[in-house]
Amino acid sequence: MISAKAIAARIETLAKEIQTAFKGTEKLVVVGLLRGSFVFIADLVRELDLPVEVDFLEASSYGSGMESSREVRILKDLRGEIQGRDVLVVEDIVDTGHTLHHVVNLLRSKGPRRLETIALLDKPTRREVDVKATWTGFEIPDKFVVGYGIDYAQRNRNLPYIGAVRFT
Per CB under 6 A, residues contacting ligand IMP are 36, 61, 91-100, 144-145, 150
Q: Least distance from C-beta 168 to ligand IMP, angstroms?
A: 17
**Which residue number, 36 or 147, has a Cβ lying nearer to Mg ion?**
36
Closest alpha carbon to 77 in 103, 41, 40: 103
What stretch of H or E contains 60?
A: strand 52-64
CB 114 within 8 A of CB 87: yes
CB 36 within 8 A of CB 92: yes
Q: Is 163 in the site for Mg ion (CB under 5 A)?
A: no
Cβ atoms < 10 Å from Cβ of 124: 14
Told to judge if 49 belongs to the known catalytic residues of this protein, a careful annotator would answer: no
**Which residue number, 41 or 87, has a Cβ lying nearer to Mg ion?**
41
Question: Which of Mg ion, ligand IMP, none has residue 96 at its interface (CB below 5 to 8 Å by kind)?
Answer: ligand IMP
Q: Is 147 in the site for Mg ion (CB under 5 A)?
A: no
Question: Which of Mg ion, ligand IMP, none has residue 119 at its interface (CB below 5 to 8 Å by kind)?
Answer: none
Closest alpha carbon to 103 in 4, 55, 31: 31
Which of 95, 122, 142, 151 does the annotation list as catalytic? 95
Q: Is 36 in the site for Mg ion (CB under 5 A)?
A: yes
Distance CA 5, CA 161 (A): 8
Q: Least distance from C-beta 121 to Mg ion, angstroms?
A: 11
| β-strand pairing of 66-76 with 52-64 | antiparallel
- Per rule CB under 5 A, count of chain residues that contact Mg ion: 1
**Which residue number, 86 or 91, has a Cβ lying nearer to ligand IMP?**
91
CB 150 within 8 A of CB 157: yes
Residues forming the site for Mg ion (CB under 5 A): 36
**Which positions are catalytic?**
95
